[in-house]
Structure 1
Amino acid sequence: MSLTNEYKEKIRAALAARRANFDGSDARFAATLGIGSAQYSRIKRGETVGVLADEKWISIARRLGVGLTDAPAWQTAETPVFKYITAQLEMCQQNGLSAMLYDLTDIGKTYTARQYVKTHRNAVYVDCSQVKTRQKLLRGIAREFGVGSTGRLADVYNDLVFYLKTLDRPLVILDEAGDLSYEAFLEIKALWNATEHCCGYYMMGADGLSEKIRRAIDNKKVGYAEIFGRFGKRYGKVVPTARKEAESFLQLTATMIIKANAGADTDVNRLLRRLMGEDNTPSLRRINIELSKGTNN
């Protein structure tokens, strides 16, 4: 597909908003996007034609959450999950603390974390399912901060630690952390040790995260008890444990999101029924899909 200049302008506006929350230089910011500083300078001046290939524009749009269609911008509903995680992230960032969240899938954890990064300086989001190994994780975190990520791993690590210590209250959000390898978990411990009180960390996951840590500690696997201790020796949790309470909680969450994004004539209860799964809880991921179909068909 060929991107229009209007769409590139949307991406440029999103870039400007993201740049406002990035404390490093323009060169470092360009590095987070995988482009050269000269290219970023041209975009910053308002140029969009002939600066980047369409594939790179699309890659940047994906990273910034800019949709490819003209659909209305998705509106954030301040659900209990959104409020809880946002408060946790703010606490960790402001105080250089670390915490861990283990909860159900499809409740808005990832969405909340991504929204937080859009509106808070020096906070980065890392999808650990895409950087499962020690090397990929370390290079991925470095890239998000605009630190050189292609040299020797030891140099990347040292440069990243040095840079984190110079930033004003940085925060690293580690989503899908249960997918990380053993060596990658040890790298998190090393980073924590090197940046204690200088950088906040927030680890999120579902069953895989808690089970991996529990099993590793029970089997006395080196490093896991220390990691658990550094993250507070407890898991945060939002959704109630009791079955009926959890069902009501998740249905309320879905209703709030629908109301924030649906038209005035939308039959909310009807749409909610279309979202329900066999476990009597709604799929939040399907809300956007169902809304795009229209609710009165």
Structure 2
Amino acid sequence: MDHLTKQQISDQLRKRVEATSGNKVATALKISPATISHMLGGKWENISPEMWRSVQKQLEPGNKGWMFVETKEATRLKSILSDCKEHSMVFGICAPAGFGKSEITKAFTEQENVFKINCNEFFNRKTFLAELLEQMHQDNGGYSINEMLNKVIKKVNQMDSPVIILDEADKLSDQVLFFFITLYNALQDKCGLILIATDHLEKRIKRGVDSNKKGYKEIFSRLGRRFVNFPAYSLASIKQIVRANGIDDEETVNMIVNDCESDIRRVKRLVLARRLEGAA
């Protein structure tokens, strides 16, 4: 690979780093921060051609890779998740559809003893516990509900600062949602618990409380009688995400910001479309 190509790769890499940070770009590209530093600093002699080609491919406009950007909104959510994990707290968190809740919680699962369940409408108590045991890398076959719950409790008691995240908790049926009370009672002060969803979950639980529906007052009480609500992404944060994912032209950046309706899924769709146009 010639010197000019390496310089072009280095320039592209610099734009990504300036939009986020060297460590975040290194994580996204699956290379070391030291390699990033050497590529930007012109210390190229010990960087193999294979490494240059790998970085070049990942930085190409048509590459489907998507870089997670730690915006102020993502940082706030991760801070709450960390508090919950560290202090075995219980939270209900609401954020708009398209906020990127699943992406942020997925990034958080890279930490030790973080277990995330992607909730589904078809879950019953047994399939819910089977999924939780699978996330904990535990055998989940051939057990009763009570036996499965005891396995979860036993595993949690062996861990340092575990946390269970129920993503899209508003999809859960009443039967499984009420099982949250059982989990809370069994794991109180031993494990953090988080329900995360759109504001539909908050409205559903408050309606249940107001109508005195069985179980809902107990759930609301265990959540501290309040939800943590996140507003839509700021325009500045959306611009940060767009630029970090390879769009540098200010007119295009503004077009995406104005067209996305603060929906990160739509941001991703628009960015990838522009990158593919640039690669054509």
Q: Structure 1 length as normaliser, TM-score?
A: 0.67
1:123 to 114, 123, 134: 114
Q: Please tell me whether Structure 1 or Structure 2 has the larger radius of gyration of its CA atoms.
A: 2
2:215 paired with 1:223 = yes
Residue aligning to 1:261:
245
Shift of 1:148: 2.0
2:100 to 76, 97, 108: 108
Amino acid at match of 1:270: T
Residue aligning to 2:268:
288
Amino acid at match of 2:255: R
Larger RCO, structure (CA 8 Å, separation 6 or more): 2
2:114 paired with 1:146 = no
Identical aligned residues as a percent: 22
1:150-201 deviation line (CA, Å, top 9, x unaligned): 2222211111111111111111011111111111112111011111111001
Matches within 5 A, 1:190-269: 190-239=182-231, 249-263=233-247, 266-269=248-251
- Name the Cα RMSD after superposition: 2.4
Matches within 5 A, 1:63-82: 71=63, 73-82=65-74
Q: Secondary structure at the match of 2:77?
A: helix
Give the unaligned 5+ runs of structure 2: 1-26, 31-61
2:91 paired with 1:99 = yes
Amino acid at match of 2:238: A
Q: Structure 2 length as normaliser, TM-score?
A: 0.70
Distance 1:192 1:131 in 2: 22
Amino acid at match of 2:201: L
Instruction: Tell whether the 8 Å contact from 2:257 to 2:267 is kept in structure 1 after alignment.
Output: yes
Distance 2:108 2:229 in 1: 18
Residue aligning to 1:159:
151
Aligned residues: 217
Shift of 1:286: 2.7
Distance 2:254 2:171 in 1: 31
**Stretch deviating more after TM superposition (122-131 or 210-219):** 122-131
Instruction: Tell whether the 8 Å contact from 1:251 to 1:281 is kept in structure 2 after alignment.
Output: no
Distance verdict in 2 for CA 1:281–1:95, change over 3 Å: same
Shift of 1:261: 1.3
Q: Secondary structure at the match of 1:143?
A: helix
Q: Secondary structure at the match of 1:173?
A: strand
Instruction: Tell whether the 8 Å contact from 1:131 to 1:137 is kept in structure 2 after alignment.
Output: no
Instruction: Tell whether the 8 Å contact from 1:96 to 1:200 is kept in structure 2 after alignment.
Output: yes
Distance 1:171 1:209 in 2: 20
Distance 2:67 2:182 in 1: 38
